[in-house]
Amino acid sequence: MSQSWSSEPSTPNLSSLNKNYTRCNNRGTVNDKSPQSAKPSGMFSLRANSPSGELLDLSGLEEEDIEQISALMNSLGNLREAERRVSEASATYMALNETDMRALHFLIVCENLEQDVTASSITRHLRVSPATTTKLLDRLEKGGHITRSPHPTDRRATTIHITRETRKAAYESVGAMQSRRFHAAARLNREERDIVIRFLVDMTEQIDMKHADWAQH
């Protein structure tokens, strides 16, 4: 997913968060209202994307099935768009970029699980180079978002910690929004959740990059 932030901006101090939060709210970037039900005529409808069968063979489907699958694809598109808006608004609020936000999320999760985080573990999680990780951590430390301390067992490494202020800011912004997903999942019964899980696992497998020969070069 493309983002509008540069990969290595300067990282403002935490004192700028309240100003960014007010500006972000005034712009109304985050809207927690549920989107209207997706219609088959949307951006991701089957016929809109493969009108002559170049991508999809619809000959074995009834019209009602085509419309229902189109509605499903449009609903997924609406979800991705909602996620994009939350991601952009959260990054604006925190005055960080997408990679920074992913690193902070990783730090929060590892801290919750009582796992030590090192620069190399962040590198593996973000799938970036060690040099990129070094620059990222320098930015975050300069901005007051992380601290570093000696590793408890490895003298060659340091452990990375998210600061209390940044953790609180992240929880109150993107964390609070993302946690609302729980309500949608909780409203389903176990059988319905199993169906959704199987569908999402299958969907993820279908678009895995291992199937994209054009991207292997």
Closest C-alpha to 146, from 104, 115, 114: 104
Same domain, 120 and 187: yes
Q: Which of 130-134, 190-194, 209-213 has the lowest mean pLDDT?
A: 209-213
Range of the domain at 45: 38-51+59-94
Taking all residues of the chain, what is their mean pLDDT, rounded to a whole number? 83
43: enclosing H helix or E strand: none
The answer on 124 and 72 residing in a single domain is no
| Any domain includes 125 | yes
Percent of the chain with pLDDT over 70: 81
Written as six digits, the tokens of 204 are 């993820």
Could you tell me if 102 and 135 lie in one domain? yes
How far is Cα 28 from Cα 15, in angstroms, rounded to an integer? 21
For residue range 78-103, list pLDDT tens digits in order: 999 999 999 899 889 999 999 999 99
Check whether residue 119 and residue 153 sit in a common domain: yes
Q: Can you tell me which residue has the tokens 């983002």?
A: 3
| 77 and 162 in a common domain | no
Evaluate whether residue 109 is within a structural domain: yes
How many helices (H) and strands (E) would you count in the chain? 10, 2
Q: Is residue 71 domain-shared with residue 167, that is, in the same domain?
A: no
Q: 127 with 68, same domain?
A: no
Give 28-42 pLDDT, tens digit per residue: 334 444 444 544 457
108/27: higher pLDDT? 108
Contact 14, 145 (CB under 8 A): yes
46-76 exposure pattern, b = at least 16 Cβ within 10 A, e = fewer: beeeeeeeeeeebeeeeeeebbebbbebbee
Q: Which helix (H) or strand (E) holds 58?
A: none
- The reported pTM is 0.71
Look at residue 14 and tell me if it is in a domain.
Answer: no
Above 90 in pLDDT, residue 184?
yes
CA 31, 139, 108, 190 dihedral sign is positive
Tokens 């999320």 found at? 105
Query: What's the pLDDT tens digit per position in 41-79?
Result: 578 888 888 888 888 888 889 999 999 999 999 999 999
CB contact at 8 A, 10 and 140: no
Residue 179 located in a structural domain: yes
Which structure tokens are listed for 6?
């540069």
- The two most distant CA atoms of the chain are separated, in Å, by 65
- Check residues 125 and 46 and name the one with the higher pLDDT: 125
User: Based on the structure, what is the number of domains in the chain?
Assistant: 2
> Measuring CA to CA, how many Å separate 120 from each of 84, 125, 184, 197, 201?
28, 9, 36, 31, 29
- Strands 146-150, 158-162: pairing kind: antiparallel
Using a pLDDT cut of 90, give the percent of the chain over it. 57
